[in-house]
Amino acid sequence: MRHKPLRNQVIVITGASSGIGLATARMAAERGARVVLAARSGDVLARIVREIEAQGGRALAVTADVGQRKEVQAIADAALAAFGGFDTWVNVAGLTVYGPLREIADADHERLIQTNLWGTIYGSLVAVEHLRQRGGALVNVGSIASDLAFPFQGLYATSKHAVKGFTDTLRMELIAEGAQVSVTLVKPASIDTPLPQRARNYMDREPTLPPPIYPPEEVANAILHAAVHPQRDIFVGGGGKLFVMGKEFAPGAYDELAPAIIALQKRTERPREPEGALHAPRNAGQVRGDPPIYVMRTSAYTRATLHPLATTAVGLGLAASVAALVGGLNPRRTRGR
């Protein structure tokens, strides 16, 4: 399946007021697409639209909470009214909560699931209902947390596991009915976005992301690649892919990394902002965060996997790396065996 060039597409992006969503909206507009930006922060979206139009692009802002199906339907209706429909729908909207599962309030758990999971479900179902008629692409942004668990981000990992299950099922059903709709799950590793600063936080300091950290533009590029050249799954960040493969080879060894993962999330000494943007929009408008460690310039692994001829070679190299990684991490490994 192959879709229209980006310059001929209308692309809907949820969670477009910050981070990966904002990076994707700007990149899509730069490449000639008409973009529909959706998020809760209407004032921020209006500013971004003015910025895009000042550079010669075409954009539309729709204030919406993706956790409400009627508001997601309003996004699709607005795209239809302004541009006659859309060719690609990208579900990016998502938030997280940092803290031990036993300490987190039920209301915070429920809000996270409403946004991360139900927002993706509503967006996908509304989008596919339109795309069945004209063909196109659905791109859901999961995470390496779709395949891994992370202590102190338990419900985030839960939501991303569920997003993967839903996305895989929807793809199979569309294949069974012969619909010309591609479904891609993008799974970023740690990405330099304001996600930690906008999180609901039960820890005693501002959280940070475990290394390696990649730029949000790498995710945006993968999303827009899938809008034209569909792929089933795209990992963004070779480091994240290594951890997923290592966990599959030695899940017990990965579990033993829990103390190290918790410590990595507490590497900053900055005072925490406990509320975050979970229940109400705040601190939107920025693509990048402010991690205390180095951010990679690019992901050679991801760039290679976007070109099928390179994928086999990359996979063989990763398999060798995982074998070495597992051999070093497995606490039950003994000499001479």
Other CB atoms within 10 A of residue 297 CB: 10
Instruction: Give me the domain span that covers residue 188.
Output: 6-329
The DSSP output letter for 135 is: -
Q: CB-side exposure of 17: number of CA atoms within 13 Å?
A: 26
Q: Which tens digit of pLDDT belongs to each residue from 306-330?
A: 986 555 544 555 555 544 544 554 5
- 59 lies in a domain? yes
CATH of residue 155: 3.40.50.720
Catalytic residue among 98, 122, 156, 301: 156
- The pTM score is 0.90
Q: Which tens digit of pLDDT belongs to each residue from 187-213?
A: 999 999 999 999 999 999 899 898 999
Number of domains in the chain: 1
- 229 lies in a domain? yes
- 334 lies in a domain? no
* Angle, CA of 288, 220 and 23, to the nearest 5°: 40
- 55 lies in a domain? yes
**pLDDT tier for residue 336 given thresholds of 50, 70 and 90:** very low
- 44 lies in a domain? yes
- 336 lies in a domain? no
Whether pLDDT at 242 is above 90:
yes
156 is catalytic: yes
Q: Which helix (H) or strand (E) holds 201?
A: strand 200-201
Residue that wins the pLDDT comparison between 321 and 134: 134
- 31 lies in a domain? yes
114: exposed, middle or buried (Cβ count in 10 Å: 0-12, 13-18, 19+): middle
- 135 lies in a domain? yes
pLDDT, mean over the chain: 91
